[in-house]
């Protein structure tokens, strides 16, 4: 009996110690970029920038996370005006691509979220501009990044003769059943500007060409914000599916399709 009492006392003491250690441990115990892929890191003046993505960069929609650190104090900077831009130098000509900047000047869970839609594979420049509101540094970073080939972005000419870029964002890994379906739509205003298209009607039609059937309960992608369209796609069995997408602005504007293997 005495032994059990001692044991309980020890256990309570141990729990108390663990609790104490927890409450006094440094607040930045976990790296906000944990689990992300590091694309590049550079320091200019007293500001260090680290660029991350979910995995490597490829043709299509890439979420990009910018981590800003004061290189003198080694403290995370959570107040900054961060913006990115993209550039591909093809010799005779240069062009940019669609990209998205953080909504505000406060970091979200320690990082500044951006996105870049690379429209072709090869070497690109990723430019990051930071106005560090902690130390007032205004710095510009250039990262040379290699973009892997992938089939997520389609270049389509509309019936209005404009060039559009349609990018499949979701599903990243298609499964049997109802999947979230997300597209981005941009148009090429000029070589450096690819604004979001927010006013088109999208009709989705999945089918299994090898078996000659479609599926019920699909939801046409509707515009949310910044050229993102969200809907649902229903894959009723595994195998090779085709998703036909028709775009309308009044009259028919354009068509594209994606071939998706459902595991
Ligand atoms: Cu190019």
Q: Which domains, and CATH codes, for the chain?
A: 37-147 (2.60.40.3340), 153-262 (2.60.40.10)
Note the pTM of the prediction, 2 decimals: 0.86
Q: Which of 256, 261, 239, 84 is nearest to 158 (CA)?
A: 256
**Is the pLDDT assigned to residue 89 strictly greater than 60?**
yes
pLDDT band at 234 (very low <50, low <70, confident <90, very high): very high
Ligand 1 centre to CA of 111 (Å) is: 29
**Is the pLDDT assigned to residue 16 strictly greater than 70?**
no
Ligand 1 centre to CA of 219 (Å) is: 34
Ligand 1 centre to CA of 125 (Å) is: 11
User: What's 58's DSSP letter?
Assistant: B
DSSP 75-121: PBP-BEEEEEEEEEE-SS-EE---EE--SSSB-BTTBEEEEEEE-SS
Ligand 1 centre to CA of 94 (Å) is: 7
Ligand 1 centre to CA of 89 (Å) is: 7
More confident residue, 7 or 166: 166
In this prediction, residues 141-167 reach a mean pLDDT of 97
Ligand 1 centre to CA of 129 (Å) is: 22
In this prediction, residues 138-166 reach a mean pLDDT of 97
What is the pLDDT at residue 85? 98
Ligand 1 centre to CA of 209 (Å) is: 33
What is the pLDDT at residue 3? 63
Ligand 1 centre to CA of 255 (Å) is: 23
Ligand 1 centre to CA of 132 (Å) is: 31
pLDDT band at 1 (very low <50, low <70, confident <90, very high): low
**Is the pLDDT assigned to residue 14 strictly greater than 60?**
no
Q: What angle do CA 124, 125, 128 make, to 5 degrees?
A: 145
What is the pLDDT at residue 30? 84
What does the pLDDT look like over 19-52, one tens digit per residue? 544 444 445 568 999 999 999 999 999 999 999 9
Give the span between the Cα atoms of 174 and 32, in whole angstroms. 28
Ligand 1 centre to CA of 147 (Å) is: 11
Ligand 1 centre to CA of 191 (Å) is: 10
Ligand 1 centre to CA of 248 (Å) is: 28
- In what order do the strands lie in the sheet containing 99-100? 37-44, 47-53, 60-70, 112-118, 99-100
Q: Which two tokens stand for residue 66?
A: 């910018």
In this prediction, residues 103-126 reach a mean pLDDT of 97
What is the pLDDT at residue 7? 55
Q: Give percent of the chain with pLDDT exceeding 70.
A: 89
In this prediction, residues 188-216 reach a mean pLDDT of 97
Ligand 1 centre to CA of 202 (Å) is: 27
Ligand 1 centre to CA of 40 (Å) is: 21
What is the pLDDT at residue 77? 97
What is the pLDDT at residue 114? 98
């Amino acid at each position: 009996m005495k032994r059990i009492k001692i044991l309980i006392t020890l256990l309570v003491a141990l729990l108390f110690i663990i609790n104490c250690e927890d409450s006094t441990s440094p607040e930045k115990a976990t790296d906000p970029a944990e689990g992300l892929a590091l694309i590049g890191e550079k320091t200019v003046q007293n500001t260090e920038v680290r660029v991350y993505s979910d995995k490597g960069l490829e043709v299509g929609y890439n979420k990009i996370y910018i981590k800003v650190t004061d290189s003198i104090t080694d403290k995370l900077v959570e107040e900054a005006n961060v913006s990115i831009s993209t550039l591909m130098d093809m010799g005779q000509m240069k062009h940019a691509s669609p990209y998205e900047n953080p909504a505000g000047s406060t970091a979200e869970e320690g990082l500044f979220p951006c996105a870049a839609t690379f429209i072709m594979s090869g070497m690109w420049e990723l430019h990051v501009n930071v106005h560090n509101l902690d130390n007032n540094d205004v710095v510009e970073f250039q990262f040379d990044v290699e973009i892997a080939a992938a089939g997520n972005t389609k270049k389509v000419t509309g019936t209005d003769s404009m060039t559009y870029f349609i990018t499949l964002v979701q599903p990243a890994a298609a499964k049997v059943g109802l999947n979230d379906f997300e597209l981005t739509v941009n148009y090429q205003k000029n070589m450096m500007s690819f604004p979001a298209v927010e006013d088109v009607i999208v009709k989705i039609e999945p089918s299994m060409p090898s078996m000659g059937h479609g599926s019920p309960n699909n939801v046409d992608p509707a515009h949310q914000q910044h050229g993102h369209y969200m809907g649902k796609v229903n894959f009723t069995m595994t195998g090779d599916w085709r998703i036909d997408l028709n775009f309308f602005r009044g009259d028919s504007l354009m068509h594209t399709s994606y071939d998706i293997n459902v595991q």
